[in-house]
Amino acid sequence: MKRFKLYKCKLVAVLLFLTVPAIISALPVSSVPDNTEAESSIRPVYLIEVEGVVTTGQKNFIERQIKNAIDKESQLLIIRINTPGGLVDATMKINEQILNAPMPVAVLVAPSGAIAGSAGTFILMASDIAAMAPGTTIGAAQPVAISPEGAGEAGDKTVTFYASYMRNTAEERGRPGDLAERFVTENLSLGSRESLEKGMIEYLAGNIHELMNEIDGKEIEKLGEIYTLNTSEAPVLQEEMTFAENFQNWLSNPQIAFLVLMAGFLGLYMGFNAPGTIVPEVGGLILLIMGIYGIGLFDVNTTGIILLLVGLGLIMAEIFTSGFGVLGVGGVVSLAIGAIMLPVEPLMAPDWYRGFIVTVGGVVLGFAIVVLVIIQRIIRSRRRWTGGSEHFTPPVKGVTVNELNPEGQIKARGEYWRARSINDSKIPAGKEVKVVKAETLLLWVQLPENEENRNAGTK
């Protein structure tokens, strides 16, 4: 009877899983109006703010903002930066985007007291216009190698490569390459005024508007084109990070990524050492995928798709097996994170993406409700089952799954039970046993009399 009720719950889960997303996705999705500025004869300036560690999330944000700046027909992109450094791969990708952007890009180290250390200096050298606020600092860009023993100096080949990269980038922008090279080889650091005197930057500006006034009327040559800036009265456009980008930025922080990765390994280790607990395995798998993304081995598209597939797999496993809600909860969590991780693709219509998010949200909400109902019924059933002997009828006989020595498992009525031999004797696996008594969920068993007599005769 109980098994029939459980299957009935799971049938309801399947129906809701199929119908709720369809109903929700069929609802009209309100279109979000574009926050475009009023038409003006002066083309806008697009502003991006980079705070904290340079991560893959920051790289994705900057990539999207450059595309937005192009769509808005901006005359200039300004990146205001304040960072102690960051990931090498993310920094190289950001530089590639800056160097190939079809518009001038200015980098301003601000406000006063800010720094553009390590990765920030690489980004500054790639800019068409480099500026610093008074009291800011750049440099200390020697690469660091991270290992299980901790952080240490990178090898000579690595240092030589990035020193050459820094030199070439600076010289391409008309800045002294020999001095830029020393940022990497000698961990050189420079203040704002010294940087201006030595030609590492072109302007001192305390904020964005000061910089826009300074560069007004200047001509910038880039990718074979001449751009004349008209920035003193230009409107400034800016967008904040989306929730997905903030999540990606947080997860790709090296410290967070390492902790998430270790938590994933620990969960799988605990699960493999205690089979059947389910919770550590499911949680460990999800955390492991997230940790691999955080350290940069998966890109955001791959991670999102993997998490969506894992989520669907866990939900299917919950529907057709006795996961006691754990697999379902893990599937819901994995689906939600996977949907967050998927970036907005520029070639995909915004309405499609919003509809996709609504559909995933419907699946998550619908199945979450079903899982909560199933878990509630299981808990209520467990409490009633162990509350007194009138609600618990132990099986009469079973078959040993493994050797009872003196404890082990038997299979009875299609279920696995913890069992112990009545006289603490060994009972081999595959033997039929008789249940003598039951204590809560522990069954005391013995071999049938004819089997015991045969064993006694052989002795």
Shared-domain flag, residues 135 and 261: no
At which of 234, 252, 286 does a domain end? Answer: 234
Please choose, from the candidates 119, 38, 35, 134, the residue with its C-alpha nearest in 3D space to the C-alpha of residue 79.
Answer: 119
**In a domain? residue 29:** no
Three-state DSSP state, 107: strand
Q: Which residues are catalytic?
A: 118, 157
What's the CA gap between 88 and 85, in Å, rounded? 9
Number of domains in the chain: 3
Digit-coded pLDDT (tens) for 364-396: 676 667 667 766 766 666 555 444 444 457 888
**In a domain? residue 105:** yes
Shared-domain flag, residues 200 and 301: no
What's the CA gap between 260 and 150, in Å, rounded? 17
Amino acid at 131: A
- Count of CB atoms situated within 10 Å of the CB of 251: 22
User: Residue 402: which CATH number?
Assistant: 2.40.50.140
Shared-domain flag, residues 260 and 200: no
Shared-domain flag, residues 210 and 275: no
At which of 199, 234, 269 does a domain end? Answer: 234
User: Residue 119: which CATH number?
Assistant: 3.90.226.10
**In a domain? residue 348:** yes
β-partners of residue 122 are none
**In a domain? residue 28:** no
Q: What is the reported pTM?
A: 0.63
Write the burial class of residue 191 (CB in 10 Å: 0-12 exposed, 13-18 middle, 19+ buried): middle
Which residues are CB-contacts of 28 (< 8 A; sequence separation ≥ 6)? none
At which of 180, 204, 234 does a domain end? Answer: 234
Which pLDDT score is estimated for 31? Answer: 38
Is residue 218 within 8 Å of 227, Cβ to Cβ? no
Shared-domain flag, residues 324 and 438: no
Q: What is the CA radius of gyration of the chain?
A: 32
Assigned token pair, 174? 């008309």
What's the CA gap between 208 and 76, in Å, rounded? 12
DSSP string, 309-359: HHHHHHHHHHHHS--TTHHHHHHHHHHHHHHHHS---TTS-HHHHHHHHHH
Please choose, from the candidates 250, 282, 245, the residue with its C-alpha nearest in 3D space to the C-alpha of residue 267.
Answer: 282
Shared-domain flag, residues 255 and 324: yes
Shared-domain flag, residues 294 and 414: no
Shared-domain flag, residues 228 and 323: no
First-last CA distance in the chain: 45
DSSP string, 22-64: HHHHHSPPPPPPP-PPPP-SSPPEEEEEEESSB-HHHHHHHHH
Strands of 124-283 (E only): list them. 129-132, 137-139, 144-147, 150-153, 189-191, 203-204, 219-222, 225-228, 236-238
Digit-coded pLDDT (tens) for 151-198: 556 778 888 999 999 999 999 999 999 999 999 999 999 999 999 999
At 439, give phi and psi (nearest 5°). Answer: -120, 110
At 144, give phi and psi (nearest 5°). Answer: -120, 135
128 lies in which domain range? 45-234
Shared-domain flag, residues 371 and 397: no
What's the CA gap between 210 and 228, in Å, rounded? 18
Assigned token pair, 245? 């980008």
Which pLDDT score is estimated for 23? Answer: 42
Question: Which residue stretches of the chain have pLDDT < 70?
Answer: 1-40, 145-153, 275-276, 297, 322-325, 342-364, 366-368, 370-371, 374-375, 377-392, 450-459
Residue that is written with structure tokens 């459980």 in the block: 6
Please choose, from the candidates 302, 306, 129, 307, the residue with its C-alpha nearest in 3D space to the C-alpha of residue 229.
Answer: 129
Amino acid at 370: V
Maximum CA extent, the chain: 108
Which pLDDT score is estimated for 359? Answer: 65
Shared-domain flag, residues 228 and 91: yes
Assigned token pair, 170? 């600076």
Please choose, from the candidates 56, 47, 104, the residue with its C-alpha nearest in 3D space to the C-alpha of residue 81.
Answer: 47
Which pLDDT score is estimated for 32? Answer: 39
